[in-house]
Structure 1
Amino acid sequence: MTSFSRITALILMTSTIYLPTSHADTSLPDAKTLGLVNLEGDFSRQQLFNEILATDASRNNEYQSFAVKKSFKFPNDVSYDDVLKQPRKDALFGVDISHHNGKNFPVEILANNKSIFLYMKASQGSRFVDPAFAGFWQRAGETDKGVKLHRGAYHFLSSGTPGEDAAQWGRKQAATFVKIIKANGGLRSTDMPPAVDVEWDIERRNGPDRWVNRKPAEVIAMVKAFSAHVETELGRKPIIYTARSWWVPRMGGEASFAQLADHQLWLADYSNQSQASEIPRTLNNTKWAIWQFTDAAKFHTGSVPPFDASIFKGPSADFYSVLGVKEF
C-alpha cells in the first residue's frame, strides 16, 4: 500500500494544495470477497440534511439551530475559540468520513492537525459496504508509520422492508457490519466504540424518509437487536449517532430515547458558529459523549472539501474512561 511518509505529511500540512495520492491495495477485502455490494448512489450526511430542509418545511422549527455555519478549521480552531476569544480548554476533536469524502482524504495528517479520532462509514443495510472503508481503516491504523488516530467504524441503519421483523432486520445489519470489521482486522483497544447511525433514511432525491413505515417501538427494537449482536461479536457496545431534529418528530417525542439509556450518545446538532462553544440540544436530557457540531469543517491550509467534525468536551482522562478507549 502506498502511504504518506512523515515528511510528506509535514509538506501536506503546510501546503496550500494537497498532493494527489493513490492508496489502492489489492490485498484489502473488497465487496466481492465479502459477498456484499459496494455502496454507491447513497446520500452523504450533508445531502440528507439538505433534502430534509427542502422537503419537510412543516418542521422548520426543529431545524433552526442548523444554521448557515462558519467553517471550523483544523488545527487553529482546535486550540483557540474564535467566538469566546480565548484558548480552548478540555476539548478533544475528531472527524468522520465516508466514500463521499474521496478515497484519498488525507487521513495521515489528521493527528498533526489536532484531530484525535476518526470515524469511518463501514456499511449500510445488510448488503452494502462502503468502498473506501478498508483503505481508510488500514491507513488510520498505521501506528508504525506515525499515524496516531483512535479509529471508529459506523453503520448506517436502514429501515428495511415494512412488515419485516424489526429485531431480525437489526441483527442482519449487525452481522454485515461485524463481517466487515472482522475482515479488516477487528477492533483494537485503542479504537473508538462502534457506532450505529440512526437518522433520515432517504433512497432517492425528493423521496420520503423510509422510517415513516416503522413504528417507534420497531425502531427501538431494531437498534437494540443491532447493538446486542455487535456487542456479542466485537466486545464493545455501540454508541448511537442521531439528531434531535430527526428523533423527536419521527419517534413522537424525546422520551423514547430513555429506552436506550444504557448506550452512549453521539449527538448531531449543528452549531450556528461552528466553534463548538454553544450548548447542543440533546435528547431526553441525555448527557452526550460526542457532539457532531458541523458538516463544514476544513483544514486551515489545503483544498480538501468540507467534512464532518465532532467534539468531546472534557479532560483527556475522561475521554479515555468514558469511551473505553486505551491511550497509545
Structure 2
Amino acid sequence: MAISRRAVFSGLALTLAGCGAPKGKQARLMRPSTLAASNYRAAGIPARFGDTDPHDWEGLAPAQLPVHGIDAARYQGEIDWRRARAAGVSFAWLKATEGGDHVDPGFSVNAHRARAAGIPVGAYHFYYFCRPAEDQARWFIRNVPARAGDLPPVLDIEWNHTSPSCRRRPSAHQVQAEMRRFLAILTAHYGTRPIIYTTVDFWRDAGLRRFAGHEFWLRSVAGHPLDNYPGADWSFWQYSGTGVVPGVPGTVDMNAFAGSPAAWEGWLAARVQRA
C-alpha cells in the first residue's frame, strides 16, 4: 500500500517515504506515465490486466478468482474510472489519511469519480506508530465522511521501514491494543467493522493470526495467501504491487476478492456503509 509497492519510475521512488510525503490537501498529484496492459501480459493474472514485474504463478493463481479491484494513492494520479470499470475493476480502496496530520490528495480527486463510474469505493488509513491510536482514528473520521454505499474503511497496518520520523516497533501486545482502540472508534462512527490490511512480516510479528473476529486483506505478491499466511481467513488478496490496469496511469496494486460474483454481491449487501 503506502510503502509496500515497488516504484517502477525512478521519479516516484523518492516519494514513498511514509510521513515524509507532502502534507495537506493542497499537495499535487503525481503524473506517472501511462502504460498499456497489452504490453505487460503475465501468466496467472486476468488477461485484461498486465504486470511490469510478475510473479511466476503456479498452482493457485489470481486469475482463478473472478472479482478483482485496485487500491491507489496520489502516486497513480487521476484515474479514468469508466475505463477501469470496463476492464473489470469491481472495487477500489483509496488512501485517505496517514498518521494524525497527513491527507492524501488523490482521495478527494478519485473517490467521487469512482462512485460516478459505478465502482464501489472505500478509504484506507496508513497507521503511524508514533501517534496515539485515538488521534489517528479522529483524523480519519475528520477527513472521510460516512457515506451510504461506500466500502468499509480499512486500517493499513505494517512496519514502515522507510519512515524518516518514526522507527518505533511495538510489541505484539501493544500493537493489538492500539489496533483495537482504532478499530472500535471507526466501527462506532461508520456502523461497519473496518477491514485490516497487512503484510506477511507484520502478520507474523504482531501475532495477527490470533486477532479473531476481524476481516483481513492480505498482501501476498510471491505466492497464494494459503502459502504465506497458513490458517488465515481472508476476504481480499493483494497479489501485485506492479499491476497495469486500463485507465490507471503508471502501475497500481491489484487485488482479488475471495469468492464468486454472487458471493461478492452478498458481501457488498452485508458490508457497505449505511450512513
TM-score by length of 1: 0.62
Aligned partner of 1:241: which letter?
Y
Shift in Å, 1:208: 9.5
2:70 is equivalent to residue 95 of structure 1: yes
Which of residues 116, 123, 133 in structure 2 aligns to 1:153?
123
CA positional deviation for 1:317 = 2.4
1:195-239 CA-to-partner distances (Å, cap 9, x unmatched) read 0001122454xx697242x12111101111111000101111110
Of 149, 152, 159, the residue aligned with 1:200 is 159
Secondary structure at the aligned position of 1:261 is classed as coil
Q: Does 1:260 align with 2:235?
A: no
* 8 Å contact from structure 2 (residues 76, 248) kept in 1: no
1 CA distance for matches of 2:122 and 2:130? 24
Equivalent residue runs for 1:135-154 within 5 Å: 135-142=109-116, 147-154=117-124
Is this contact kept in 2: 1:74–1:114, CA < 8 A?
no
- Change beyond 3 A, Cα 1:259–1:75: same
Who is 1:298 aligned against? 244
RMSD: 3.3
Alignment of 1:1-328 (within 5 A): 44-47=3-6, 70=42, 76=48, 90-102=65-77, 104-142=78-116, 147-160=117-130, 169-182=132-145, 186-189=146-149, 191-204=150-163, 210-212=167-169, 214-248=170-204, 250-251=205-206, 256-271=207-222, 278-283=224-229, 285-299=231-245, 304-322=249-267, 324-325=270-271
Would you identify which runs of 4 or more consecutive aligned residues in structure 1 move more than 4 Å?
A: 69-75
Alpha-carbon distance in structure 2 between the residues aligned to 1:258 and 1:266: 13
Q: Which amino acid aligns with 1:233?
A: H
CA–CA separation in structure 1 for the residues paired with 2:80 and 2:44: 17
Whether contact under 8 Å (1:96, 1:118) holds in the other structure is yes
8 Å Cα contact 2:234/2:258 also seen in 1: no
Matched to 2:180, the amino acid is K
1:43 CA drift (Å): 5.7
Is the contact made by 1:120 and 1:154 (CA closer than 8 Å) also made in structure 2?
Answer: yes
In percent, how many aligned pairs have the same letter? 22
Distance 2:97 2:138 in 1: 10
Q: How far off is 1:108 after superposition? A: 3.0
Cα offsets for 1:220-274 (capped at 9, x unmatched) = 01111111000101111110000122332x33xxxx32442111010001036xx
Deviation per CA, 1:19-57, whole angstroms, max 9, x where unpaired?
A: xxxxxxxxxxxxxxxxxxxxxxx9643259x99xxxxxx
Looking at structure 2, the residues matched to 284 and 73 of structure 1 have their Cα atoms a distance apart, in angstroms, of 22
The 3 A distance-change label for structure 1 pair 306 and 270 is same
SS at match of 1:210: coil
Amino acid at match of 1:238: P
- Normalised by the length of structure 2, the TM-score is 0.73
User: Partner amino acid for 1:200?
Assistant: W
5+ residue gaps in structure 2? 8-12, 15-40, 51-56
Displacement of 1:119 in angstroms is 0.5
Deviation of 1:313 after TM superposition, in Å, equals 2.7
Is contact 1:72-1:298 (8 Å) kept? no
Contact 2:2–2:73 (8 Å) recurs in 1: no
